[in-house]
Amino acid sequence: MDRSIFSIKKESPVADSLKSFSFSNLLQAAAVEYGRFPAFSDRSGGLWRSLDFRNCARRSNAIAYWLEQKRLNTRCMIFAESRLEWPLAFFGIMNAGAVAIPVDAKSTAQELATFIRHTQPAVLMLSPKLQGVAEQAAELAQWQGPLVLLDLDNQRDSRAIGTFETAPASFRPHSLSANSTAVIAFTSATSGQPKAVETSVRNLFHQMQSLRDLFGVKPGDALLSILPLSHLLELSCGFLAAFASGAHINYLNSILPNEIKDALKQRGITHMIVVPLLMDMIRKGIERNFTTKLGTRGATVLQGMQLASSLAPTNPMRRFLNRFILSELGPKLNTLIVGGATLDPSTLTFFNNLGISSWQGYGLTETSPVAAVNSPGQIKRGSVGRAMPGCSIRIEAAPGEKIGEILIKGPCIMNGYFNDRAYTREAIDQQDWFHTGDLGYVCDDGYLFITGRKKNLIVLDGGKKVYPEEVEKALSASLLFQELCVTGLKVPHPSMPGKLTEQVSAVIVPQAQLRESKNLADLQTLCEQEVQRLCRELSSYKRPVQVIVQLEELPKTRTGKVKAPLVQQQLSASHS
């Protein structure tokens, strides 16, 4: 593989700093190289606030100095929505030589209390609007540490970082060693309880070094950040790698399509990190717009535009052909980086045909998180790319089988699970291979293909295996379905009393307008017919035997991934 796409093209202050594994050096170098360019912006009360690169180091050192003076520079929890104070808190924690514990801003008091009890932070740094939840969680956890308000505009409350004095010239930021834990990040927990993952300084700098040029970002480009910063994809890629590239990061705490479209236009957004759920939403929105405006001809017209775009020799020509769609969506948007779950290749092709370069990667919280990624000019349809620089991927498969568990080794692998050596030894073997629990295969060219999750695999009578993700991919083409989950359901065997057999089942949540206009019986008939239509090309044993129509949303992680094991549990309980 030609790794030149990942190399830093020329030495610069930031490029040198990335070799040092020092956040303090990175901040100072960014202040020199990017200076007065805006680094972070957020929307507060309908207005946008901004902070430039030069002020990031000053503000972060003020936080670091305060933590050191108060002797709180051990473990520091960040509980806040995405806002420009969030990265300042993170850099301040790093410059104090402490460990950051990012927690999802949508956590309940009970969830936050669990995280507090598990990690015992010295301080809790939070946004003003979450103060009530934090105080309730502290009481539940019987934790009595100090609260720090992440509010630069507050000049009165001594707990607000807006009142922290500038660090004196004599202050010297601390630097954690490369192998030290920098972040304790909780997994998204698609099944069971979330795990506390220890991510090292080396892990984070490996992500920055490897992804910096993949962004294709230069100072003055703008990135829209809509995923939670507690999610390592946004922290490593959307924050740190973008910061090291000189990008202007714009925080928007909304996934409402209209608000995203407004931000894309108003802020001149060029790059965005997304999860497949959002890409599917945007694609289906475009398809519905064509149908609404052109009636039955809409789908045909859009298909014709997609075909013409696929034949266009250059990306500028594709953007010209789709200029009306792009002007509505975001005229400067040119790059989408996709992670968090498996994406239907047809959706990736759809956006590439619009002239929006879309690259998919793969990883987990335990891999910091990007372990494999497609790169410009080296994209294989349906794959999640090749291993990141310095990393290795192998497949642990049964003899004679192509598909097996994905194992990863290299500088992206976590230090381990916080306070859980036994589980760490179970996840990382003696040869330092991390066992992902995901299933897939690697083609002859080294591209990784994901086929499913080991725990989600459905095994039928006779030993035939069904990958739910394959069936979900077929069903996701429907404009009638808002959400869906394919899972195995154990039911009494038809000919063997007392024995259970597993059936392929599809749980469907119809689009909102259908739920409002049709009764449950009509919805059941409509969904069954749609499932039959979409699954014609699948082998008969892969087609859902049962279609369960559900009116409530499916349980999901914060990034929109359906919690399949929980859906299966609920389904089993209702059929027991």
Asked whether the predicted pLDDT for residue 344 surpasses 60, the reply is yes
DSSP 378: B
Number of domains into which the chain is organized: 3
Residue 114 backbone phi and psi in degrees, to 5? -60, -45
Report H helices in 154-273. 201-211, 232, 242-244, 257-266
Rounded to whole angstroms, how far apart are CA atoms 128 and 148? 9
Dump pLDDT digits (tens) for 465-501: 898 989 998 999 898 999 999 999 887 877 667 677 8
Average pLDDT over residues 291-301: 93
So what's the pLDDT on residue 249? 98
Dump pLDDT digits (tens) for 508-521: 999 999 999 999 99
Give the residues across from 362 on adjacent strands: 372
Rounded to whole angstroms, how far apart are CA atoms 83 and 79? 11
Q: Is the domain of 47 the same as that of 68?
A: yes
Residue 573 backbone phi and psi in degrees, to 5? -65, -40
Asked whether the predicted pLDDT for residue 234 surpasses 80, the reply is yes
Residue 13 backbone phi and psi in degrees, to 5? -55, -45
Q: Considering 437, 454, 471, which residue would you say is the last residue of a domain? A: 454
Rounded to whole angstroms, how far apart are CA atoms 211 and 7? 9
Average pLDDT over residues 379-402: 93
CB 200 within 8 A of CB 179: yes
User: Percent of the chain, pLDDT > 90?
Assistant: 77
Task: Find the CATH number of the domain harbouring 537.
Answer: 3.30.300.30
Name the token pair of 24: 């303090």
So what's the pLDDT on residue 560? 78
Written as one letter, the residue type at 573 is A
Dump pLDDT digits (tens) for 449-458: 998 888 888 8
Average pLDDT over residues 295-299: 92
Q: How far is CA 153 from CA 105, 117, 164, 560, in A?
A: 20, 31, 12, 32
Quickly count: other Cβ atoms within 10 Å of residue 503's Cβ.
17
Q: Is the domain of 120 the same as that of 222?
A: yes
Nearest to 122 by CA among 72, 197, 166: 72
Dump pLDDT digits (tens) for 179-189: 999 999 998 75
Q: Is the domain of 235 the same as that of 306?
A: no
Q: Is the domain of 17 the same as that of 143?
A: yes
Task: Find the CATH number of the domain harbouring 384.
Answer: 3.40.50.12780
Q: Which residue has the higher pLDDT, 562 or 203?
A: 203
Q: Is the domain of 330 the same as that of 371?
A: yes
Q: Is the domain of 289 the same as that of 352?
A: yes
CB 265 within 8 A of CB 331: yes
Rounded to whole angstroms, how far apart are CA atoms 458 and 464? 8
Q: Is the domain of 383 the same as that of 508?
A: no
Residue 271 lies in a domain: no
Average pLDDT over residues 293-311: 95
Average pLDDT over residues 320-349: 91
In this prediction the pTM is: 0.85
Quickly count: other Cβ atoms within 10 Å of residue 186's Cβ.
25
Q: Is the domain of 441 the same as that of 486?
A: no
So what's the pLDDT on residue 312? 97
Instruction: Classify residue 516 as exposed, middle or buried by CB count within 10 Å of its CB (0-12, 13-18, 19+).
Output: exposed
Asked whether the predicted pLDDT for residue 311 surpasses 50, the reply is yes
Rounded to whole angstroms, how far apart are CA atoms 220 and 217? 8
Residue 269 lies in a domain: no
Average pLDDT over residues 80-94: 97
Average pLDDT over residues 366-394: 92
Dihedral Cα 176, 180, 186, 188, nearest 10 deg = 110
Asked whether the predicted pLDDT for residue 128 surpasses 90, the reply is yes
Rounded to whole angstroms, how far apart are CA atoms 43 and 227? 15
| Mean of the per-residue pLDDT values of the chain | 92
Residue 388 lies in a domain: yes
Average pLDDT over residues 548-559: 89
Average pLDDT over residues 422-435: 96
Asked whether the predicted pLDDT for residue 1 surpasses 50, the reply is no
Query: 548 lies in which domain range?
Result: 457-574
Residue 270 lies in a domain: no
Q: Is the Cα dihedral 449, 559, 280, 531 positive or negative?
A: positive
Q: Is the domain of 294 the same as that of 354?
A: yes
Written as one letter, the residue type at 176 is L
Q: Considering 435, 454, 473, which residue would you say is the last residue of a domain? A: 454
So what's the pLDDT on residue 191? 53
So what's the pLDDT on residue 402? 95
Q: Is the domain of 147 the same as that of 242?
A: yes
Average pLDDT over residues 282-291: 91
Q: Considering 419, 454, 489, which residue would you say is the last residue of a domain? A: 454
Residue 266 lies in a domain: no
Q: Is the domain of 93 the same as that of 230?
A: yes
SS3 per-residue string spanning 305-360: HHHHHHHCCCHHHHHHHCHHHHHHHCCCCCEEEECCCCCCHHHHHHHHHHCCEEEE
So what's the pLDDT on residue 328? 92
Residue 44 lies in a domain: yes
Residue 160 lies in a domain: yes
User: Percent of the chain, pLDDT > 70?
Assistant: 96
Average pLDDT over residues 254-273: 91
Residue 259 lies in a domain: no
Q: Is the domain of 190 the same as that of 315?
A: no
Find the radius of gyration of the CA atoms of the chain.
24
